[in-house]
A and B are shown apart, each in its own frame.
Chain A
Amino acid sequence: IAGITQAPTSQILAAGRRMTLRCTQDMRHNAMYWYRQDLGLGLRLIHYSNTAGTTGKGEVPDGYSVSRANTDDFPLTLASAVPSQTSVYFCASSDSLETGGYTFGSGTRLTVV
């Protein structure tokens, strides 16, 4: 089934631990994104990648890093998790604005304790 797969679905993580959220798409979309969604704050862009081999910073990049080694995968890493990174994380990809903008993954609910 074409789309975006995120893993894990949910995770409870001890503060200070390292964590990688996985995102894989099979639509051959060039652009991929990571957002976090918090109550009252909406979706905020963390990092993006316009094409394999390139990445850029979004609105809230601090504490996060990404890589884009190939078209399909766009992992998000928290080097040393803090409680303020408790959030729902969505990965998305896009190819053409006219065809609907983004395809979203189902999200990862992360709790940092």
Chain B
Amino acid sequence: GQNIDQPTEMTATEGAIVQINCTYQTSGFNGLFWYQQHAGEAPTFLSYNVLDGLEEKGRFSSFLSRSKGYSYLLLKELQMKDSASYLCAVTDSGYALNFGKGTSLLVTP
């Protein structure tokens, strides 16, 4: 089985930087994903890490340390539209993803 932990809620100010952490314990590892989900909508893909290190994509970056079972999603220059839930997901084999419970981010003016 898998255990994926991330904070339940976070609040940050518009224009600031926020880091959302995710720790996981899996019997195997085939990649870690971050998804964004706005209220009432389906999740949308943000990032994929399979090797250690930082992946940067515009205002969003994702980091992975496989030895520590740890990842973070970094959001820079926060905008009001970034208020959403952020889901960490891990696959240990094949394509099936196991999701954490999600982090609800509120961006305030």
Interface set of A (CB-CB < 8 Å, partner B): 31, 33, 35, 40-45, 48, 50, 58-59, 90, 94, 97-98, 100-102, 104-107
Q: Is the CB of B42 within 8 A of A90?
A: yes
Minimal Cβ-Cβ distance residue in B for A41: B101
For residue B56, give the distance in angstroms from its CB to the closest CB of chain A.
16
With a CB–CB cut-off of 8 A, which chain A residues contact B101?
40-42
Q: Is the CB of B42 within 8 A of A106?
A: yes
Query: In the complex where A90-B42, A97-B50 touch, is A48 in contact with B91 (Cβ < 8 A)?
Result: no
Bound-state CA distance A58–B102 (Å) is 19
With a CB–CB cut-off of 8 A, which chain A residues contact B22?
none
For residue B29, give the distance in angstroms from its CB to the closest CB of chain A.
12
Q: Is the CB of A101 within 8 A of B33?
A: yes
Closest A-B pairs by Cβ, 5 of them: A42-B101, A104-B42, A100-B45, A43-B99, A31-B95
Interface set of B (CB-CB < 8 Å, partner A): 30-31, 33, 35, 41-45, 48, 50, 87, 89, 91, 94-102
Total number of A-B contacts with CB less than 8 angstroms? 58
Which one, A41, A97, A107, contacts B95 given CB within 8 A?
A: A97
With a CB–CB cut-off of 8 A, which chain B residues contact A41?
101
Query: In the complex where A42-B87, A94-B95 touch, is A101 in contact with B42 (Cβ < 8 A)?
Result: no
Bound-state CA distance A104–B94 (Å) is 18
Q: Is the CB of B42 within 8 A of A42?
A: no
What are 14 A-B contacts defined by CB distance under 8 Å?
A31-B94, A33-B96, A40-B101, A45-B96, A45-B97, A48-B96, A59-B98, A94-B95, A97-B31, A97-B48, A101-B33, A101-B95, A104-B43, A104-B44
